[in-house]
Amino acid sequence: MDIHEYQAKEVLANFGVAVPDGALAYSPEQASYRARELGGERWVVKAQIHAGGRGKAGGVKVCESDVEIQKASEEMFGKKMITHQTGPEGKGIYRVYVEAAVPIDREIYLGFVLDRTTQRVMIVASAEGGMEIEEISEKRPESIVRAIVEPAVGLREFQCRQIAFKLGVDAGLTQQMVRTLQGCYRAFTELDATMVEINPLVITADNRVIALDAKMTFDDNALFRHPQISELRDKSQEDPRESRAADRGLSYVGLDGNIGCIVNGAGLAMATMDTIKLAGGEPANFLDIGGGATPERVAKAFRLVLSDKSVQAILVNIFAGINRCDWVAEGVVQALREVQVDVPVIVRLAGTNVEEGQKILAQSGLPIIRATTLMEAAERAVGAWQNDLSQGTRMRAVS
């Protein structure tokens, strides 16, 4: 789960990370009022969306008067901002963050991520702040500083000082860097984050270390432990299909293809998508319905997949280990009777009681295309989609 910049700054500030003074606004008039509350002579108006690259897309404006703040805010509110991270559909702007401008002396990139190779938290930093880390890696790879944190002891002060020295931070600011790094690490570990990024972390002209921007992502599976974080979720910034799936306990990621996938198990779902590609098709989604493929859960999955109007065939791929194929087959049949489906449905079952499951599908009287192997299922799904496409797109409704 992603959160907004202003939310990330509030979280990090609670862990001792210094951030500029700022306030949230939901209208141009409120943005102007927030600036007067903050005081000063220069402010920065920032569009709040779940994506980077806002500055290049016109989502960050430096203002020096009420008139400029009103104009900048009016240009943002209600608009769709398109950056290299949003895709062509963009993200809607429904709130802005007004922040007091700070005198910047230099910029630093700072990121905390989970390195799955070492199973450790990795700190990635660069003296070339203000750019995306991919751009830094390409243009100035030698500027990147990496450090692995040993979980048994946590982030130690000597590691923080080493990072500060490698970044060329003045010795007089080392303690501020230590406080910033340790605050970010504590926020990362204590709140089950998967990423903390500050870009840029700035050193000001009056010798302060301040997080000028902040981005945090959290592990969805751990949100039950942190209700204060789950309350920060903004569904307006999410893919509506993925949001709908999450509310129903399903793992879903929307893609750009035409063949919908209903699979149990994340690994099997990935293999299913790869096999569809190998067979010449394009998967429309990643969908893991989990271990308990009950009729109700399968019906929810069908409704979710069919909510994507680009889906022209559905491939159900179930491996029954904990479950049984006959239970799953009964669930598929019941789901198809409850949900109006007018696209080809291909079902491949494997595992416990597969013969009984295949018999239930065959005797259902429903136009289910059956397959015994994953490759056969993918080929039949692609063939059914191409045949359906040649006959023209059919209207369908989801009950």
Binding-site entries for ATP: 46, 53-55, 99, 102, 107
390: exposed, middle or buried (C-beta count within 10 Å: 0-12, 13-18, 19+)? exposed
CA nearest 94: which of 121, 71, 73, 63?
Answer: 73
Closest CA to 72 of 109, 19, 34: 34
DSSP for residue 175: H
Residue 94 falls in the annotated catalytic set: no
Residues 6 or more apart whose CB falls under 8 angstroms from that of 79 comprise 92, 93
Q: Which member of 97, 109, 185, 252 is catalytic?
A: 109
Binding residues for substrate: 264
Beta strands in 176-246 (DSSP E): 193-204, 209-211, 215-218
Tokens of 9: 């700054």
Residues whose CB is less than 8 angstroms from the CB of residue 240 and which lie 6 or more positions away in sequence, other chains included: none
CA-to-CA dists, residue 350 to 296, 317, 320, 321, 379, angstroms: 21, 8, 6, 9, 17
List the one residue out of 356, 251, 359, 351 whose CA is nearest residue 305. Answer: 251
Q: Which residues contact 39 (CB under 8 A, 6 or more apart)?
A: 100
Among the listed residues 212, 215, 4, 185, the one whose alpha carbon sits nearest the alpha carbon of residue 112: 185
Nearest in space to 335 (alpha carbons), one of 297, 363, 369, 387: 297
> Which residue, among 369, 331, 377, has the nearest Cα to 350 in the 3D structure?
377
Binding residues: 46, 53-55, 99, 102, 107, 199, 213, 264
Q: Please confirm, yes or no, whether 197 is among the known catalytic residues.
A: yes
Judge contact between 378 and 347, C-beta under 8 A.
no
Residues designated as active site:
109, 197
